[in-house]
Homo-oligomer: A and B are copies of this chain.
Amino acid sequence: MLWAHCTAVYLITVFVCFLLYHEYDYISSKRNAYFYSSKPQPHQYTILVRGIPVSPGSSVSESVGNFFKEYHSSTYLSHVVIHRTNRLFFLIDYVKKIYRRFKHKQSEPVKEYSRFDDSFGVQKSNLENGDLEESLITEQWDASFSGQEVRSAFVFFRSRFGAAIASRLQQSEKPTEWVTEQAPEPDDVYWPFFQATFLQRWMSRVVIIVASTLLTVLFLIPVVLVQSLANLSQLEVWFPFLASILTAKVTRQIVTGYLPNLILQIFVKLVPPVMEFLSSIQGYISFSEIQRSACDKFLWFIIWNIFFANVLSGSFINLFSVLLDLRNIPSHLAVTVPAQASFFIAYVVTSGWTSTSSDLFRIIQLIQSLLRKCCCCNRTASDEFELPYIYYHREIPKILFFGLLGITYFFLAPLILPFLLVYFLLAYIIFKNQFLYVYAPKFETAGKFWPTVHNCMIFSLVLMHAIALGIFTVKKLSSASTLIFPLPVLTLLFNEYCRKRFLPNFVAYSAESLIKKDREDLNDSEMPQFFSELITAYMDPALSPLQCSDFDGHGVPSFSDISNDHIAPLLSHA
In chain A between 499 and 519, which residues have their CB closer than 8 angstroms to a CB of chain B? 500-505, 508, 510-513, 515
B169/A493 in contact, CB under 8 A:
no
B325/A327 in contact, CB under 8 A:
yes
Q: How far is B199's CA from A493's CA once the two chains are assembled, in angstroms?
A: 12
Q: How far is B171's CA from A513's CA once the two chains are assembled, in angstroms?
A: 9
Q: Kindly list chain B residues whose C-beta atoms are within 8 Å of the C-beta of A169.
A: 164-165, 168, 510-511
Most-contacted residue by chain B among A175, A198, A504 (CB, 10 A):
A175
**A74 and chain B: residue at smallest CB distance:** B74
Q: How far is B174's CA from A32's CA once the two chains are assembled, in angstroms?
A: 10
B327/A512 in contact, CB under 8 A:
no
B327/A321 in contact, CB under 8 A:
yes
Whether A500 contacts B170 in the complex (CB less than 8 A), given A71-B515, A175-B505, comes out as no
**A325 and chain B: residue at smallest CB distance:** B325
Name the one of B176, B500, B511 contacting A171, with C-beta atoms under 8 angstroms. Answer: B511
Most-contacted residue by chain B among A165, A198, A503, A512 (CB, 10 A):
A512
Binary interface encoding of chain A residues 70-101 relative to chain B, with 1 for a CB under 8 A from any of its CBs, else 0: 11000000000000000000000000000000
Q: How far is B171's CA from A71's CA once the two chains are assembled, in angstroms?
A: 22
B327/A71 in contact, CB under 8 A:
no
Binary interface encoding of chain A residues 489-505 relative to chain B, with 1 for a CB under 8 A from any of its CBs, else 0: 00001001100111111
Q: How far is B510's CA from A165's CA once the two chains are assembled, in angstroms?
A: 12
Binary interface encoding of chain A residues 316-336 relative to chain B, with 1 for a CB under 8 A from any of its CBs, else 0: 000001001111000000000
Q: Kindly list chain B residues whose C-beta atoms are within 8 Å of the C-beta of A325.
A: 324-327
A510/B172 in contact, CB under 8 A:
yes
Is there a chain B Cβ closer than 8 Å to A386's Cβ? no
Q: Kindly list chain B residues whose C-beta atoms are within 8 Å of the C-beta of A501.
A: 175-176
Q: Kindly list chain B residues whose C-beta atoms are within 8 Å of the C-beta of A206.
A: 493, 496
Main secondary structure of the interface of A (DSSP, over half): helix
Name the one of B71, B171, B175, B515 contacting A502, with C-beta atoms under 8 angstroms. Answer: B175
Q: Kindly list chain B residues whose C-beta atoms are within 8 Å of the C-beta of A173.
A: 32, 505, 510, 512-513
Is there a chain B Cβ closer than 8 Å to A202's Cβ? yes
Q: How far is B198's CA from A497's CA once the two chains are assembled, in angstroms?
A: 10
Q: Kindly list chain B residues whose C-beta atoms are within 8 Å of the C-beta of A510.
A: 169-173, 175
Q: Kindly list chain B residues whose C-beta atoms are within 8 Å of the C-beta of A166.
A: 511
Separation in Å of the A435 CB from the closest CB of chain B? Answer: 27
**A210 and chain B: residue at smallest CB distance:** B489
A171/B327 in contact, CB under 8 A:
no
Whether A175 contacts B511 in the complex (CB less than 8 A), given A326-B325, A327-B324, comes out as no
**A71 and chain B: residue at smallest CB distance:** B515
A170/B504 in contact, CB under 8 A:
yes
Q: Kindly list chain B residues whose C-beta atoms are within 8 Å of the C-beta of A515.
A: 70-71
Separation in Å of the A256 CB from the closest CB of chain B? Answer: 36
Q: How far is B324's CA from A134's CA once the two chains are assembled, in angstroms?
A: 69
**A36 and chain B: residue at smallest CB distance:** B173
In chain A between 155 and 206, which residues have their CB closer than 8 angstroms to a CB of chain B? 164-166, 168-173, 175-176, 178, 198, 202, 206
Most-contacted residue by chain B among A170, A206, A504 (CB, 10 A):
A170
Q: How far is B499's CA from A206's CA once the two chains are assembled, in angstroms?
A: 14
Q: Kindly list chain B residues whose C-beta atoms are within 8 Å of the C-beta of A165.
A: 165, 169, 511
Separation in Å of the A23 CB from the closest CB of chain B? Answer: 17
B175/A504 in contact, CB under 8 A:
yes
Q: Kindly list chain B residues whose C-beta atoms are within 8 Å of the C-beta of A164.
A: 169
A508/B170 in contact, CB under 8 A:
yes
Separation in Å of the A373 CB from the closest CB of chain B? Answer: 50
Separation in Å of the A380 CB from the closest CB of chain B? Answer: 50
**A198 and chain B: residue at smallest CB distance:** B500
A176/B500 in contact, CB under 8 A:
yes
Binary interface encoding of chain A residues 298-323 relative to chain B, with 1 for a CB under 8 A from any of its CBs, else 0: 00000000000000000000000100
**A32 and chain B: residue at smallest CB distance:** B173
Whether A170 contacts B511 in the complex (CB less than 8 A), given A175-B500, A326-B325, comes out as yes
Q: Kindly list chain B residues whose C-beta atoms are within 8 Å of the C-beta of A504.
A: 170, 175
Most-contacted residue by chain B among A173, A325, A500, A513 (CB, 10 A):
A173
A512/B172 in contact, CB under 8 A:
yes
Name the one of B178, B500, B511 contacting A71, with C-beta atoms under 8 angstroms. Answer: B511
B171/A168 in contact, CB under 8 A:
no
**A502 and chain B: residue at smallest CB distance:** B175
B202/A497 in contact, CB under 8 A:
yes
Q: Kindly list chain B residues whose C-beta atoms are within 8 Å of the C-beta of A178.
A: 512
Q: Kindly list chain B residues whose C-beta atoms are within 8 Å of the C-beta of A512.
A: 71, 171-173, 178
8 additional A-B pairs beyond A166-B511, A170-B504, beta carbons within 8 Å, are A165-B165, A165-B511, A169-B510, A173-B512, A175-B501, A175-B502, A175-B505, A326-B326
Chain A residues within CB distance 8 Å of chain B: 32, 70-71, 164-166, 168-173, 175-176, 178, 198, 202, 206, 321, 324-327, 493, 496-497, 500-505, 508, 510-513, 515
Q: Which 8 A-B pairs have the closest CB atoms?
A: A175-B504, A324-B327, A170-B510, A169-B511, A324-B326, A171-B511, A71-B515, A173-B510
22 contacts between A and B (CB under 8 A): A71-B511, A71-B512, A71-B515, A164-B169, A168-B168, A169-B510, A170-B510, A171-B511, A171-B512, A172-B510, A172-B511, A173-B505, A175-B501, A175-B505, A175-B510, A178-B512, A202-B497, A206-B493, A324-B327, A325-B325, A325-B326, A326-B326
